[in-house]
Structure 1
Amino acid sequence: MVLMVSGGADSTALTLMACTGELDIDDGRGCARIARERLHVLHVNHHLRGEASDGDEAFVRDLCERLGLPLCVEHAHFADLDGRNLEAAARDVRYAAARRYVRELSRQSGTPRTAARILTAHTASDRAETFFMNAIKGSGAAGLSSIPRRRNIIVRPLMDRTHGELVRYLQVAGQPWREDESNRDTSYLRNFVRHRLMPLAAERNPGVARSVGAACDILGDEDAFMSQLAATALRSCTRREGSGLVVLDAARLAAAEVAIARRMVRLAVKRIAPEARLEMRHVEAVLACVAAGEGSVALPEGVDARIEFGTLSFRTPTERERAATGWLPVPGSMAVAGGRVLESAFVRVPEGHDAVSLARGLSAEAGGGTVAVIDAAALGYASRDLQRLAEDQRWGASAAQGGADGVRLWVDGPAAGDVMCPLGMQGRSKKLSDLINEARVPLAERAGVPVVRSSPGGAIAWVAGVRADERFKCTPTSSMLVKLTIRPIGDV
């Protein structure tokens, strides 16, 4: 149980209550006393107010010494904010420190991290202030839900008390606390809301903090329900997902209710860029492109949203899909872009059977261009070698994995100037870039299209999922075939 204590009135009251009273740590038992040996205190000295910051640290040290609580103090410095405001950066530092402390305590005690709790001193007053701050900035339902009572192991047991009530509690207990002079500076939005807006609202409703808190609870429950619906809709709408890439069916997204569609956009971006903070203007711009059936939008964290061939793709700048490069043994497999796997296997043509019909049947079973069947002899291997390797496959061995004499294919991505003879064009050549464009492969996915070649820089045998090459097609005289399959990892 880690208490985050700054030395202010709220966190000082939290510490005292944890030691002498009862708190609800949201473990299903309601309000109960916490065993003293479970309590640990974390204080982060941000060094933002010079001697005053050191005074806060000294105060918390003295408080913990008097109460007999173990204390961990961390020091933070803010030379580079990386585009964040100071308040957000300081908050990130505090929570990161709390999680590290929890991991260390869990390791020492041999207990699961899920059993730990991080307690913060947020109050009903804080929650109401955050509500108004987010309303001023133009937040949606998630922002207006304000500070949640619990998020994973982070619990806020004072959410039903106001700051004024905690101050009176400390005064009765004779317990001093520290005041941060910067809290009076109304140039900060929170202080403006606290000292200017909240007093005006309290003139009409003295219990405004609790009233707003009740509204936040309702908004939070409804937001969670809507998010669940959006997540389900997003799963049915997702056509491709990989590292740094999510591709959605634009028509399905356009058909969704706008309240769900907005959340689907946010969830999709969150999957590839968790730190991206989308504003309403970003989401509306993406949905405008979806409605128009064309266009692109630059989103935070460098995420690119683009409409192409009936799809909406989101991709990050640093984790774009790239085609795997290397040898594909036959039989064997290799992982390729988009969370997929490329597999190869020998298929012997039984005596008396037509190789062309067999190849067509194997391709038709999968459909969608996910299977190609080529003539193994067209790869330039002697018939006796193909027979021997097929026998190895039959007995579960993979000679191609270990020996230089094994059948293998080179796999890479599309390269400038690539030309092939697409199957069905009677030997006429075509630029690979034109073929991929005609196949309506979105721009975001083109670099990740696996190209199977006879050798590095050699003839193209198959553009996976697009088209095989005429030069490697099966003929009535084919006796040994190579079956190539591309599928999502995990599918069987």
Structure 2
Amino acid sequence: MQETFENHIAQNFPFLIGKNLLLATSGGLDSMVMVDLFHKLPFEIAIAHCNFQLRGIESYGDQNFIQNYAETNEIKLFLTQFDTEAFANDYKLSTQVAARELRYSWFYELLETENYDYILTAHHADDNLETFLIHLVRGTGIDGLTGIPSKNGQVIRPLLIFSRSEIAQYAEENAIQWREDSSNASDKYLRNKIRHNLVPILKELNSDFLTSFQKTQTYLQESKAMIADASFLIYQQVAKEKGTEIHFDLIQLKKLPNYKSYLYHWFNEFGFSAWEDIYDLIDGQSGKQVFSSEFRLLKNRDFLILSPINLEDEYEEFFINKNQKEVNVPLNLTFCKVDDISMASNTTIFVDEDKIWYPIVLRRWRDGDTFQPFGMDGKSKKVSKFFKDEKLSLIEKEKAWLLCSDNEIVWIVGIRQDERFRVKSTTKNILKIHLK
């Protein structure tokens, strides 16, 4: 196994050579074998051990075992303790999820503060099979069936090619000591139920089941890559990126068979999970929305618009003083006096400065705001009605800023100037305002 391991590292993880490696070590069979394998190679390693305080004196026995091992073998040790049950209760998590959150948060902190390059865990082929079956039981897409990745950012899993029995045999041949976790014997957790009851039956039906499973996962990973390629090609056809937004053309999308699969593939990475609600948007009314924790999907006529959730305070105001030539927050606006007007546009207006009261204010629009749209003969109009007539989407409305003088709207920035501040033949002082 040692020779196979060395070849595996050289072929699949050559980037580890010369790096500082942090080995996540529980004291169990798998992690102790991993430490032994790396300790025999010319790598700069350290051990990271978490005491989750879940098994009373047994947890402290694991901690002492690791401390003695690290001292005896002159390996640097990082040790921490967690009140896992309290954390799980505070954040309404299962014990297993809480332990995972705590340990990986600590691992990443060590990588940064102690200048280590990678964290290595001892997941093996049987762990991969169990994870596959857990996802299968709970229901999953292809992502959940392709297994535990051997590399995920700075997390490396170098033992995935080995079975539990191969690891146990290596431990026996090399007289490696380890600590047995008593909770592994319990069927309290789904993983243990699968390990103790389902996996033995599968291996009984096919003595080489683990090898067959690994081949199946290879095929699934290849299929996943094909799906990703197809999804990217379709994305280029139906999606258009506009700043922080992505607009999906529903007319083009609905021409495709199985278009819902593309939606799942695209939006899953943005944290969406209410898939039936998303599918209902396709034929839903304009204005309907679905949210993830950080993003929003909006149906706007023949488009789905994906955008970050706007967390800005709608009541925040920015003041611009007289003779100020430029502001950069929240928009980039420039102000300069000119002798005559040139071509006005959505991004450039000319106003009669003598009608301006300073400081002028830049703020979000609010219900009840009214103005006199340029070119409408002085007729007042609610801003909300103007937006509706201009067919602005909900996101476009939310992004709108008003430039105001003494509570009167000078400009719906980038959209329409107010008639009351227009330049006339009698205007003496002309102010040019430009949106960059």
TM tier relative to shorter chain: 0.7 to 0.9
Distance 1:300 1:86 in 2: 25
Residue number among 341, 365, 369 corresponding to 1:414 in the alignment = 365
Structure 1 pair 359–190 and aligned structure 2 pair: CA distance change class (3 A) = same
Partner of 1:434: 385
Distance 2:94 2:287 in 1: 32
For structure 1, the 5+ residue unaligned runs are 21-32, 107-112, 270-275, 364-368, 382-406, 488-492
Distance 1:262 1:219 in 2: 18
Give the CA RMSD over aligned residues. Answer: 3.0
1:5 and 2:13 correspond: no
Write the letter of the residue equivalent to 1:451.
L
Write the letter of the residue equivalent to 2:31.
S
1:87 and 2:79 correspond: no
1:179 and 2:173 correspond: no
Partner of 1:263: 265
Partner of 2:6: none
Write the letter of the residue equivalent to 1:325.
E
Partner of 1:66: 72
CA contact (8 A) 1:124 1:210 kept: no
1:474 and 2:423 correspond: yes
1:77 and 2:103 correspond: no
Distance 1:72 1:52 in 2: 19
CA contact (8 A) 2:365 2:402 kept: yes
Partner of 1:490: none
Tell me by how many angstroms 1:325 deviates: 1.9
Distance 2:228 2:92 in 1: 28
Equivalences for 1:127-276 in 2 at 5 Å?
127-223=128-224, 226-227=227-228, 230=231, 233=235, 236-241=239-244, 246=245, 248-249=247-248, 251=250, 254-255=253-254, 257-267=259-269, 269=270, 276=271
Residue number among 335, 339, 344 corresponding to 2:334 in the alignment = 344
Tell me by how many angstroms 1:310 deviates: 4.4
Structure 1 pair 445–192 and aligned structure 2 pair: CA distance change class (3 A) = farther
Distance 1:440 1:210 in 2: 59
Q: Identity of aligned pairs, percent?
A: 22
Residue number among 343, 355, 358 corresponding to 1:379 in the alignment = 355
Tell me by how many angstroms 1:134 deviates: 0.9
Q: Helix, strand or coil for the counterpart of 2:332?
A: strand
Distance 1:239 1:321 in 2: 23
Which deviations, in whole Å up to 9, do the C-alpha atoms of 1:96-147 show, x marking residues without a partner?
Answer: 11111222221xxxxxx6xx12111000111111111111111112211121
Distance 2:424 2:231 in 1: 50
Tell me by how many angstroms 1:161 deviates: 0.1
Structure 1 pair 63–301 and aligned structure 2 pair: CA distance change class (3 A) = same
Partner of 2:107: 98
TM-score, length-scaled by structure 1: 0.74
1:462 and 2:411 correspond: yes
Write the letter of the residue equivalent to 1:19.
H
TM-score, length-scaled by structure 2: 0.82
Moved more, 88-97 or 322-331: 322-331
1:286 and 2:278 correspond: yes
Tell me by how many angstroms 1:375 deviates: 1.9
Equivalences for 1:26-41 in 2 at 5 Å?
33-35=41-43, 38-41=44-47
Write the letter of the residue equivalent to 2:404.
R
Tell me by how many angstroms 1:47 deviates: 0.6
CA contact (8 A) 1:170 1:176 kept: yes
Write the letter of the residue equivalent to 2:328.
M
Distance 2:288 2:388 in 1: 18
Distance 1:220 1:319 in 2: 38
Which deviations, in whole Å up to 9, do the C-alpha atoms of 1:165-219 show, x marking residues without a partner?
Answer: 1111111222222222222332422112211221122123223223323333443
Which deviations, in whole Å up to 9, do the C-alpha atoms of 1:265-291 show, x marking residues without a partner?
Answer: 223x2xxxxxx4x44xx2342132124
Write the letter of the residue equivalent to 1:34.
P
Structure 1 pair 311–236 and aligned structure 2 pair: CA distance change class (3 A) = closer
For structure 2, the 5+ residue unaligned runs are 1-20
Question: What is the number of residues matched between the two proteins?
Answer: 406
Residue number among 4, 25, 34 corresponding to 1:14 in the alignment = 34
Q: Helix, strand or coil for the counterpart of 1:39?
A: strand
Distance 1:71 1:154 in 2: 18
CA contact (8 A) 2:133 2:194 kept: yes
Distance 1:293 1:254 in 2: 17
Distance 1:250 1:437 in 2: 21
Tell me by how many angstroms 1:51 deviates: 1.2
Write the letter of the residue equivalent to 1:49.
R
Write the letter of the residue equivalent to 1:334.
N
Partner of 2:14: none
